[in-house]
A and B are shown apart, each in its own frame.
Chain A
Amino acid sequence: MVKKRQVYLDYAATTPVDPLVMKAMRPFFDKDFGNSMSLHRWGQSAKKALEASRQTVADFIGAEKEEIVFTASASESNNLALKGVAWANKAKGRHILISPIEHSCVQQSAQWLKQQGWLVEELTVNQYGLVDPQQVKQKLRAETILVSVIYASNEIGTIQPIKAIAEVCQAKKVYCHTDASQACGQISLNVKDVGVDLLTASSHKIYGPKGAAILYIKDGVKIEPLIHGGGHEAGRRAATVNLPAIVGLAQAVKLADGLRIKDSRRIAKLRDYLIQGILSRIPHSYLNGHPKQRLPNNVHFRFDFIEGEALVFALDQQGIAASTGSACSSAELKPSKTLLAIGLKPEQTHGSLRLSLGRRTTKKELDYVLQALPEVVTKLRKASPFK
């Protein structure tokens, strides 16, 4: 075994806060601590920073400033999108379409709505995890109010044809929401170009702090707030805003905007290097997700004969941070819904591993992984009755 290193390959879970983001946030904890709703200068200064942040985020995704609502998390944004649209559009209908590979916060929001009497229908995906826009078209009904499809899978990294899906929705005047938590900051994304009505993005996935996210709500979209109160965020989300985190999000967006193309290209190259390395070094390994239409930073594998939770812990012992969709790692001991949706059998979902790259990932780190991972897999396979 080569010398042990610390290699973080779980950027899809969360990213470190960029030093420039921290620097931008700092004054808002003490010097500019005001409440953006206050009338005095402290409040007005806070409000100015809040609205400047809103403008930055709006520009980044091609939206109008008034179309951006700040929330505390992507989970909250997704809850607001689904429940808020459902409540505000009851008169039109109660039919909602979601993909089968949504993040659990979309799945669970939809599930909750189902319990309240809404009709929730799931689309299917192909073996790569792609939604077919034609299927969306076929499934739209007069009473459909919302279609929600994740922009890029948090697990297998597959990027959806969101533009085509949004077009189909627009033709039938059905709202289209997309959870772009993983996509935003990594791939070019313009809401006007894509044509969605609602879009979720998060701060801590793009080197900003935890505790800030956005929901883009296109002008004219009818939506009920989840949190009622003092009229913040134009009545769409009450609560004193978390200004340091929001300023941090805006700074993270600025950095992403400057870096995105160069960075994504570099990371995508590293991704392909890692994928090829794993395929050539580890027998019985299979890439999950689309080979080309995938996030620049996502590597997702399935290894036969071993179990993912054990794999993640064994990698952790080697200093490598990864994640798995294995049933044994989940709180309910259930296999990943995404992996089942792409057609894997339950027993095939156990040996899954997600390695997600980031801004700080180097080739040297990947070379270490390409040395340690085959050894770890071999060791676990040695213990397994199947080989």
Chain B
Amino acid sequence: MNSYSAKTMEHFQNPRNLGKVKGANGIGKVGNLVCGDIMWLYIRVQDQRIEEIGVETFGCVAALATSSVVTELAKGKTISQALKIDKDQVIKVLGSLPPIKIHCSLLAIDALSEAIYDYFKKTKQPVPQKLKAAHRRILQEKKLLEQKFGTI
């Protein structure tokens, strides 16, 4: 019917884990309002496991669906399992994603990565090298976007 898969439309219609999380101990905020995608992802981690997860998304169908899928994939997982979620996994759940919208799945994964980074920081735990590198890359990309479009 449209360029989105049935599964994408299903997640769009019934987003999982919508909204803030009570007692969240990690929050990841990614995206740029000028570009039109913003995701705020909340996690509550206990014993290295993501007990609760929630997301708020401003964006298109793909942004809403991918953020829903990422929360579904990450819920109940250990931190190290959650950090292994990649875009191919998200796209596999959705069946397919229009090529022009692939960046939305990356953004959702970045939101999760940032929430976990924030959790490590907040709980004063040493941040794994890989997560630090991801955080630096996300900040760098954000900076580039802001230079291009301005701060919101």
A interface residue numbers (CB < 8 A to B)? 305-307, 309-310, 313-314, 316-317, 326-329, 331, 333, 335, 346-347, 350, 382-386
B51 is an interface residue with CB less than 8 A from chain A: no
Q: How far is the CB of B101 from chain A (nearest CB, A)?
A: 8
A313-B4 contact in complex given A307-B60, A328-B60, A346-B149, C-beta closer than 8 Å: yes
**When the two chains form the complex, which single residue of A310, A316, A317, A346 contacts B59, counting CB atoms closer than 8 Å?**
A310
B70 is an interface residue with CB less than 8 A from chain A: no
Most chain A beta carbons < 10 A, residue from B9, B36, B149: B36
- Chain B residues with CB under 8 A of A306: 58
Chain A residue at minimal CB-CB distance from B104: A328
A346-B34 contact in complex given A307-B58, A313-B2, C-beta closer than 8 Å: yes
- Chain A residues with CB under 8 A of B58: 305-307, 350, 384-386
Q: How far is the CB of B95 from chain A (nearest CB, A)?
A: 16
Query: Are B4 and A331 neighbours in the complex by a CB distance under 8 Å?
Result: no
A333–B59 alpha-carbon span in the complex (Å): 12
Identify which of residues 38-84 in chain B touch chain A, using a CB-to-CB cut-off of 8 Å: 38-40, 56-64
Count of B interface residues, CB-CB < 8 Å: 29
Query: Are A347 and B152 neighbours in the complex by a CB distance under 8 Å?
Result: yes
**When the two chains form the complex, which single residue of B12, B18, B56 contacts A310, counting CB atoms closer than 8 Å?**
B12
- Chain A residues with CB under 8 A of B36: 307, 326-328, 333, 335, 347, 350
A307–B62 alpha-carbon span in the complex (Å): 11
Main secondary structure of the interface of A (DSSP, over half): helix
Query: Are A328 and B34 neighbours in the complex by a CB distance under 8 Å?
Result: no
Q: How far is the CB of A348 from chain B (nearest CB, A)?
A: 9
- Chain A residues with CB under 8 A of B29: 385
A309-B57 contact in complex given A327-B35, A346-B149, A383-B18, C-beta closer than 8 Å: no
Q: Can you give 11 contacting A-B residue pairs, CB < 8 Å?
A: A306-B58, A310-B12, A310-B60, A310-B64, A313-B2, A313-B4, A314-B13, A327-B35, A347-B36, A383-B56, A384-B57
Query: Are B61 and A313 neighbours in the complex by a CB distance under 8 Å?
Result: yes
A361–B44 alpha-carbon span in the complex (Å): 50
Query: Are A313 and B40 neighbours in the complex by a CB distance under 8 Å?
Result: no
A385–B15 alpha-carbon span in the complex (Å): 14
A313-B18 contact in complex given A326-B60, A347-B34, A350-B36, C-beta closer than 8 Å: no
Chain B residue at minimal CB-CB distance from A317: B13
A140–B3 alpha-carbon span in the complex (Å): 45
Chain B residue at minimal CB-CB distance from A313: B61
A383–B61 alpha-carbon span in the complex (Å): 12
A346–B35 alpha-carbon span in the complex (Å): 8
A309-B61 contact in complex given A347-B33, A382-B18, A385-B38, C-beta closer than 8 Å: yes
Query: Are A316 and B33 neighbours in the complex by a CB distance under 8 Å?
Result: no
Query: Are A310 and B38 neighbours in the complex by a CB distance under 8 Å?
Result: no
Chain B residue at minimal CB-CB distance from A332: B100
**When the two chains form the complex, which single residue of A309, A317, A385 contacts B56, counting CB atoms closer than 8 Å?**
A385
* 10 pairs of A and B residues whose beta carbons are closest in the complex: A328-B60, A385-B56, A309-B60, A347-B33, A385-B40, A384-B58, A346-B34, A350-B36, A313-B61, A328-B36
A331–B101 alpha-carbon span in the complex (Å): 10
- Chain B residues with CB under 8 A of A326: 36, 60
- Chain B residues with CB under 8 A of A328: 36-37, 59-60, 62-63
Identify which of residues 82-109 in chain B touch chain A, using a CB-to-CB cut-off of 8 Å: 100
**When the two chains form the complex, which single residue of A310, A335, A350, A382 contacts B61, counting CB atoms closer than 8 Å?**
A310
Chain A residue at minimal CB-CB distance from B38: A385
A316–B33 alpha-carbon span in the complex (Å): 24
- Chain B residues with CB under 8 A of A333: 35-36, 100
- Chain B residues with CB under 8 A of A309: 60-61
- Chain B residues with CB under 8 A of A316: 2
A386–B100 alpha-carbon span in the complex (Å): 25
- Chain A residues with CB under 8 A of B63: 307, 310, 328
- Chain B residues with CB under 8 A of A382: 18-19
Query: Are A331 and B60 neighbours in the complex by a CB distance under 8 Å?
Result: no
**When the two chains form the complex, which single residue of B9, B19, B33, B149 contacts A313, counting CB atoms closer than 8 Å?**
B9
Q: How far is the CB of B65 from chain A (nearest CB, A)?
A: 10
Q: How far is the CB of B19 from chain A (nearest CB, A)?
A: 8
Query: Are A307 and B12 neighbours in the complex by a CB distance under 8 Å?
Result: no
**When the two chains form the complex, which single residue of B34, B56, B61, B152 contacts A384, counting CB atoms closer than 8 Å?**
B56
Beyond known contacts A307-B60, A310-B64, A313-B12: 7 more, CB 8 A cutoff: A309-B60, A309-B61, A310-B59, A333-B100, A347-B36, A385-B38, A385-B40
A385-B57 contact in complex given A313-B4, A331-B100, C-beta closer than 8 Å: yes
A205–B36 alpha-carbon span in the complex (Å): 31
A306–B152 alpha-carbon span in the complex (Å): 16
- Chain B residues with CB under 8 A of A335: 36
Q: How far is the CB of A311 from chain B (nearest CB, A)?
A: 9
Q: What string of 1s and 0s marks CB contacts (under 8 Å) between B1-22 and chain A?
A: 0101000010011010011000
Chain B residue at minimal CB-CB distance from A350: B36
